[in-house]
Amino acid sequence: MKKTGLKIEIYGSEILRTRAASVKTPGPEHRELLSAMARFMYANSGIGLAAPQIGVGEAMIVVDIGAGLYKLINPRIIRREGRQAIEEGCLSLPGVSVNVNRARKITLKALGHDFNPVTITAEGLLACVFQHEIDHLRGRMIVDYASLFDKVRLKRKLAELYRRSENDRLPEPGEEQRKLRL
């Protein structure tokens, strides 16, 4: 695994529940951080990562489901269509998966890594991952979508993660298996 110098924020960390600030004036440091986030995501077998997950309170995400890397600043969803349910995992919730209902198709606007405006329409898994990462920018996590049954089922695991959040430790790749590692 390539060292990135970044650490994942684990469930219980305050920044994961805090709304990320919009990036007012993007600069080279934002471009560098997006690249570091992408390296970190790949090194941990993720398919998406939001800046708050690495302790940065700014609205930036990276996403790659295998069809190309997106590096986005200030993403916002402007249109939602249809419904889909996908079992999701999260790098900030190791060992936890939750069935989440989301829009099947979305359109979003953001600044790309070159700081130019982009509009992206995504369906299926890609739409799911964008929604998941944008939720992180709003202080939301997959456990917020859990059914009452799942919340009871996950209570012990979430309590353990909350205690562990002080250590900011991400399991080594392969240590924990999940459906989707977003």
Write out the catalytic residue numbers: 133
CA–CA distance, 84 with 6 (Å, rounded to integer)? 32
Q: What is the DSSP track for the chain? A: ----S--PPPTT-GGGGSPPBP-SS--HHHHHHHHHHHHHHHHTT-SEEEGGGGT--B-EEEE-SSS--EEEEEEEEEEEES-EEEEEE-TTSTT-EEEEEE-SEEEEEEE-TTS-EEEEEEEHHHHHHHHHHHHHHTT--GGGG--HHHHHHHHHHHHHHHHHGGGTPPPPTTSS--S-B-
CA–CA distance, 165 with 41 (Å, rounded to integer): 19
Cα angle vertex 109, ends 54, 32, to 5°?
35
94: its two tokens: 């190791």
